[in-house]
Amino acid sequence: MNTITDIITSIINDDKRVIGQNDIPQLHLSDGLKLKYGQANVLVYPKTTQEVAQIAQYANKNGINITTRGAGTNLVGSTIPDSGIIIDLSLMNKIIELDKDTFTITVQPGVLLQDLQQFVEQHDLFYPPDPGAKNSTIGGNISTNAGGMRAVKYGVTRDYVQALEVVMADGRVLNIGSKNVKDNTGLALKQLFIGSEGTLGIITQCTLKLIAKPKVFETLIVGFNSIEQAIASITTILHTLTPTALEFVERKVAEWGERFSGFQFPLPDSHAYLIIMLDGADQQMIAQQRQQLLANLGGRDYFIAATEQQAQQIWSVRGSLVRAVEAVTEQDPIDTVVPINRIADFINYTKQLELDTGVRMLAFGHAGDGNIHLCILRDGRDASQWHETLALIHHAIYQKCHELGGLPSAEHGIGTAKVQYFNAAIPEANRQLMRLIKQQFDPNNILNNQVYVTQK
């Protein structure tokens, strides 16, 4: 009797790219946090769309679950398998075409974000979406609609997807979208797959929109006496100009990044900061933007990065905050989003919750779009105490977020980790419609059936 491993091996005709149940690396049974692990019957590394299609056809016919993954940087359990087949798309990593005339690039889903960005910038082009995990794959970015620091000016991954090739649950190959700038030809099916966390189909090729690369970038830091002052200045900044990036961080949080990166953050006497990136066609344009911005902020202390290396060091402090925490203790990452005029309310609530529970919390994030990242620190608590306390904090955090008009996820997705908070935030009529869409695309419920869209 042939096992699933035998059958998958016969499909792709290469036993080196098929890993049986007992030999699957632990890494492939978890997500980016590596705190929870699932199980699977087989791990396969396809190289072509046809191989993916044949695997899906077999799985669909036999009711076998498929969990699709790229670099595995997901933080909400979307890549934790619940039996069945793990399809790892990391070997589908070719850049197929750069079309300068249409400002598009066509790639396979396993191309890393950092490699794509470096490649197009060599041609004076720019791919703006910039989530924190630069080693994430483009297919994963699309499946989670990844955002990042530059979203305030340039938007998120959804805004740069021109066309997709998708393998459906039954093995059919769907081609949607085009290189055309405008498209009002029927329903926008492409949009359903973006952010769907692998529940509707398997992305095997994507065409992305590019823009001309800005000629000049500048990083500056503005210091404040309190986080409330910093947050109150956000609307002033956004009424003045649209920065490339606009991040907030408190002094006590920046210190974590300092210790980890070894770089001293500027303006050490300030209690809170806004880190701002500007871009433009030339230095004169940048200088005009900066002067107008600082004038409207009323003479705050500020620091301008004098060199590219200095700018990179500043951003390394901000970018290393999660890793800085994880170097000391286990942490649970939260990525909520609230209206930008309620950021201070949310931050103040987390401070009070920190006092009430005795659990340390570090808040920072994307000030320009209300996306708040919160690290909840375990600090040596035993498993029972940690899970009990974490559940109480989650309930309080997500309830407050809802009260402020926010949502449980800005860019990480829902996966398996946020199902109950998704259910509380989204009306049942909406969730029922999502389940109906899932049934139409995947009637046998084999694609990432462990994640939120199939849960009630």
pLDDT in tens, the chain (456 residues): 479 999 999 999 999 999 999 999 999 999 999 999 999 999 999 999 999 999 999 999 999 999 999 999 999 999 999 999 999 999 999 999 999 999 999 999 999 999 999 999 999 999 999 998 899 999 999 999 999 999 999 999 999 999 999 999 999 999 999 999 999 999 999 999 999 999 999 999 999 999 999 999 999 999 999 999 999 999 999 999 999 999 999 999 999 999 999 999 999 999 999 999 999 999 999 999 999 999 999 989 999 999 999 999 999 999 999 999 999 999 999 999 999 999 999 999 999 999 999 999 999 999 999 999 999 999 999 999 999 999 999 999 999 999 999 999 999 999 999 999 999 999 999 999 999 999 999 999 999 999 887 766
Q: Which CATH number fits domain 1-213: 3.30.565.10, 3.30.1280.10, 3.40.50.720, 3.30.465.10?
A: 3.30.465.10
Residue ranges, comma separated, of all CATH 3.30.70.2190 domains in the chain are 216-321
Q: Which CATH number fits domain 216-321: 3.30.70.2190, 1.10.620.20, 3.40.50.620, 3.30.2130.10?
A: 3.30.70.2190
If you search the block for the tokens 């993954």, which residue do you land on? Answer: 69
**Residue 124 burial (C-beta neighbours within 10 Å; 0-12, 13-18, 19+):** exposed
Q: What is the DSSP letter of 244?
A: S
Q: Are 208 and 138 in contact (CB under 8 A)?
A: yes
Q: Tokens for 3, please give them.
A: 């096992």
Structure confidence at residue 456 (pLDDT): 63
d(CA 143, CA 199): 9
| Helices marked H in 244-382 | 251-261, 283-296, 308-319, 321-326, 343-357
**Residue 371 burial (C-beta neighbours within 10 Å; 0-12, 13-18, 19+):** buried
pTM tops 0.85: yes
Cβ atoms within 10 A of the Cβ of 282, count?
Answer: 10
Q: Tokens for 128, please give them.
A: 């703006």
- Does CATH place domain 329-424 in 3.30.1540.20? no
Instruction: State the helix-helix crossing angle for 343-357 and 383-403, rounded to 10 degrees.
Output: 150
| Cβ-proximal residues to 44 (8 Å cutoff; 6+ apart), any chain | 8, 12, 17, 18, 19, 55, 85, 86, 87, 88
Q: Are 153 and 243 in contact (CB under 8 A)?
A: yes
DSSP string across 63-95: T--EEEESS---SSSTT--BSSEEEE-TT---E
Residue ranges, comma separated, of all CATH 3.30.465.10 domains in the chain are 1-213
Helix, strand, or coil (residue 212): strand
d(CA 329, CA 196): 31
Q: What are phi and psi of 330, to 5 degrees?
A: -65, 145
Residue ranges, comma separated, of all CATH 3.30.70.2740 domains in the chain are 329-424
Instruction: State the helix-helix crossing angle for 4-12 and 49-62, rounded to 10 degrees.
Output: 150
Q: Are 196 and 142 in contact (CB under 8 A)?
A: no
